[in-house]
Amino acid sequence: MNKNGKISASMMCSSFDILSDTIHLFEEENIDYLHIDVMDGNFVTNIGYGTSYVEFIRSVTDIPLDIHLMITNPKDKLTWFGLQPSDIVSLHVESCKDIKTVVERVKSYGCKCTVAINPVTPVDVLEEIYLTADGVNILHVTPGFAGQKAVEGTMEKTGDVIDKINELKLTDYIIETDGNITFERAKILREMGVNMFVAGSSSIFKGDISEYRENIRKLRESIM
């Protein structure tokens, strides 16, 4: 995962009326993952992208899924999503009483599990989980809605997490960033060591579908 920057396309930014066309375009452009934000209206103040949506996406494409569970009690709901070995699942440290147990439960499906952390959450909470998880997902915006500006200090926070990962000598570790990932921020983050980028309205979904290919290529240049 460290050799090349990966793109995880944020599907909450895709219009439903062109969803199939968008996925087909992503297949042609070799998008690495489709990022699915699962929101329960409790952990975040938004609802969307539940089990039927995940099932539909699986039925129309072989692009692996990057499932971001923004829900309470995720351990009790993992069976709902038909988890596959090709998936990456992000769990929020803020939503789990025993994060290690839930990470291990996700990994029992054969897929990778990353731990997501909100902008206001101190990085110290990750100390107990670095060695159990397959990676981290550092949010640069408050989760729940697309199109937000990055929270101040999130770049520095990302650097702190990467320093710890390097200190622990964790190789092939997923270092994902999510929220207001512009082309310019992506380039800086890639140079810092980030290797997976959730791409939404600030990059590949800018403009209409006729601009997506060029946006994808521009982002790839930023994260080489």
Q: Is-contact 66 34, C-beta < 8 A?
A: yes
Cα–Cα–Cα angle for 61, 212, 217, rounded to 5 degrees = 95
Cα 202 to Cα 103: distance, rounded to the nearest angstrom: 30
Give the catalytic positions in this structure: 37, 178
Q: Which residues are CB-contacts of 2 (< 8 A; sequence separation ≥ 6)?
A: 171, 172, 173, 193, 195
Largest CA distance in the chain: 46
Which candidate, 188, 192, 217, 215, places its Cα nearest to that of 204?
215
